[in-house]
Structure 1
Amino acid sequence: MNKTEKSGFILIVDDNPTNLSVLCEALNSEGFRFRVAVDGESAIAQAERNQPELILLDVQMPGISGFETCRRLKANPLTENIPIIFTTALADTESKTKGFFLGAVDYIPKPFAHEEVIARVRVHLQLKKLTESLEEQVRDRTTALQKAQVQLVQQEKLSTLGELIAGIAHELNNPINFISSNIPPLQEYLAGITYILQLYQKDYPNPTAQINTAIKDLDLNFVLEDLPKILSSLKLGTERIQHLSNSLRSFSRSDSDAKLPADLHLGLDSTLMVLQHRLKANSDRPAIEVMRCYEKLPMVNCYIGQMNQVFMNILANAIDALDEAIIQGKIKDGIPQIKIATEINAEQWVVIRIADNGMGIPERIKQRLFEPLFTTKPVGKGTGLGLSIAHQIIVEKHQGLLKVKSQPGMGTEFTIKIPNIQE
């Protein structure tokens, strides 16, 4: 008797004591474990409670027939994959065809021959084991393929996004540097011109009529007061664009070959800057409030470009959730909010929590959030890869944890935990 035969049991279904005795003796002599049911109803109940490896099912029984019992077992997800061998004295082709049509794998004719019973039982148990092994291999290879696809997509997206944003930042930098570098001398020139004009007004208090008309048309005094303000605005604008350019460059860092010490707060802020246009008020909703509750964090060894992509995916999902909640009128007080909190926990791991006050996620969807290609968004609105990529980056690339806490009506919170390992 081998181990595979010990792992499960065979269910014998027959109302005839003689048939039961013969089958039980045959199986027992070969070391097979078995149980007995005397009608179809009890066989179905037993199989649902504890699935057997194989069922030997009599065709002609009181109550529901063996054919009906087989149909019900095959219609039940709990029992649909259990092999069924009919035991019957019916030898006509029509009965056999009906049994195979209902899902049976074989027939054992009555009266039983000991060797035939054992041979057929062994063959179908082995076939079941082989089928299960093959299915497991297919599942494993499918999972591995999906992981590889997600990783390739993630790397390609990160590389393309990084190149695109770095290119934009570079293109912004040149004209902004040109403008910002020319503002100081322009301020100096305008201050000098203003001083000279004031001297002219002092030494020549009675200008010609033509000059008086020009001064009045221009409103010279106002212009002289307003020019410094305009220059200050230009300076402030260029500083803001330079900050955006720096944020874009920070966000686009790939660092794919090695982990480097990084300021995760800078990564979060850079990502928020990239998403700023989506956070602003629009025709459907007010601006999304972003609350930063940052505690002091150390520099963390990580792939900062990939971490920024995680922040991007989670924050973009939060914005999508808030947009949807606003449309359905399911945000408390009507104010969409995203809260970002950071801390070092007792185990010295870096913890980042990103929460929104949207509609929340039903349990059936929450269980599948990190599956590749799973999405609840309409066609063209989502690939189903964002959270799967985020999970892969956090768990596999950084040996961290990515968890989600949510329930309908209570919003959603993603928690990222990264071990602060100094390499």
Structure 2
Amino acid sequence: MARYHIETYGCTANRGESRVIEQALRDGGHHRAEGVGEADVAILNTCTVVEKTERNMLRRAEELERETADLIVTGCMALAQGEEFREAGIDARVLHWDDVPGAVLNGECPTPTPDSEPVLDGVVGILPIARGCMSDCSYCITKRATGRIDSPPIEENVAKARALVHAGAREIRVTGQDTGVYGWDAGERTLHELLDRICDIDGDFRVRVGMANPKGVHGIREELARVFAENEKLYNFLHVPVQSGSNDVLGDMRRQHQVREFVEVVETFDARLDHWTLSTDFIVGFPTETDEDHRKSLELFERVRPEKVNVTRFSKRPGTDAAKMKGLGGTLKKERSKEMVDLKMRLVGEAYEEMVGETREVLVVEPGTGDSVKCYDEAYRQVIVTDAEEHGIEPGEFHEVEITSAETVYCFGEPI
């Protein structure tokens, strides 16, 4: 599990983003290092209010790059002027706030604590539905901490979801180390049944399904796609981490699925849903990954065109089988990572550009930077609405908006 160092500059909103990032990292079994020199990864949450601040951000990024093996830059300057870091020759991953936890997790599953209970954060309810997984990935250390899947009964999880709705939740995030294998410990595959029951709860809310490995989803893909198509309360969003486009590498990772199964999941959802978001993960530079394997990953990326992607450079975790393998050079991993990130930015940017001019119903989830709010449409695409106070818009409300412009990983909407 990774040790992280995080530094935050700027306004209260930035500090709030850092708290969200840290919570996700702690949920994933990671912990804060005593100092940057002890960290596996450093996270710089930047501000860009004035030119002097920008110079300070670049200088601090240069210092952190020298002190840590892996640097992630996020925040306002990263989003508005990410090219500044590249032009300064700083070797860092420039990411949106929402993408930071997935990048740090290194392809490992999130690790809820043993006493994980529903949490209401603003209008967002967090619902852990199970603990543990059915996988044995060669690079993942969290398996030792969590064990095999332990799924509470459907009725118990529905009761927790109902309590969240009654407490004011307008968005329920269904989480787990691998939601796709919910019920496997009882000899059943019941994620689709659980989601159906949650959507039957009275109230005006939305449900987002957390990470589900391809192997678990593949066996219930038809049932799951049907439930998504029939329930407006479900965000049309599925996070299915493929990790590689090469079956040889997937075998060395012990990922339990093959590329064909992942593609069949995507094709099933494509056939059922008109507007949906595929989220996936790729690990770049696994010790056995060849140039041909990397090419296959890029080709798969182009083929399925995910709208949300976590690209992670492989790093060894102590005590794992993959840590015993002879690793690839850092320069090669950086080159492959840059190639995939460039592809990601192009394809994801195109997906958001295609939304411009369309009308979407969005749920306002939380405050953004300044007087803006973060919203999500039915496919969990992020829509920013500015001048929220002027429009009388607050978290927890549904609004119709026209998409007026797009950035790479989000777009802007104007209330109708």
Category of TM-score, reference length = shorter chain: under 0.3
TM-score (norm 1): 0.21
Relative to its length, the structure with more helix (as a share) is: 1
Larger relative contact order, structure 1 or 2 (CA cutoff 8 Å, min sep 6): 2
Calculate the TM-score normalised by the size of structure 2.
0.21
Decide which structure has the larger Cα Rg and report it: 1
Greater percentage in strand: 2
